[in-house]
Amino acid sequence: MNPPIVAVYPGTFDPMTLGHEDVVRRATQLFGSVIVAVAAGHHKKTLFSLEQRIEMVRDAVKDYPQVQVESFSGLLRDFVVARGGKAMVRGLRAVTDFDYEFQLAGMNRTLMPDVETVFLTPSDGFQFVSSTFVREIALLGGEVHKFVSPFVQQKLHEKVRSLAT
């Protein structure tokens, strides 16, 4: 019997949205093992620390025993190869995502010829949800409960309160 195919779902997850959760759920239906790889975010200024983002992701995937959460820094290629990844999962919300993701997939294929990129679209209700929008809404005092889990909503409220003091 072949070992389960390992898929890696990378991102900054700042914060984890219901759209991200939906992509994880879909990935678990396709792959025997899914690693949600939380990027240290050296290229982005994140609202949450790496440890906070990992905590939110772990809470979101706690019902999926085949999902692991790990952080990474440096080249994603090194992380995927070290974990025996055979697929990389990427979420596509709209046509605007496609151009960037297509270029990224091409570059990743050059760096990791044995790893396939698999694009998954979230359910209709989450196609417009992005971490950027969620952060902006929360920072401006808006309601985000339709876009994130209760745990992430709590963490967003705590962060907004801490920034106001």
pLDDT > 90: percent of the chain = 73
Q: Read off the pLDDT band of 165 (50, 70, 90).
A: confident
User: Could you tell me the pLDDT band of residue 42, with boundaries at 50, 70 and 90?
Assistant: low
- Using alpha carbons only, what angle is made at residue 148 by residues 162 and 100, rounded to the nearest 5 degrees? 100
15 prior amide bond cis, ω within 30: yes
Quickly state the pLDDT bin for 128 (edges 50, 70, 90). confident
Answer positive or negative: Cα dihedral of 10, 62, 59, 73.
negative
Tell me the per-residue pLDDT of 71-100, one tens digit each, with 9 for 90 and over: 999 899 999 999 999 999 998 887 677 888
User: What is the pLDDT confidence band of residue 62, given thresholds at 50, 70 and 90?
Assistant: very high
pLDDT at 126: 87
Q: Is the pLDDT of residue 148 over 90?
A: yes
Mean pLDDT of the chain: 92
Long-range contacts of 149-155 (CB under 8 A, 24+ apart): 149/16, 149/18, 149/21, 149/59, 149/60, 151/56, 151/59, 151/60, 152/15, 152/16, 152/17, 152/56, 152/59, 152/60, 155/15, 155/48, 155/52, 155/55, 155/56
Instruction: Return the active site residues.
Output: 20, 44, 93, 131
Q: How far apart are CA 156 and CA 126, in angstroms?
A: 19
What's the rounded Cα separation, in Å, for the pair 33 and 28? 7
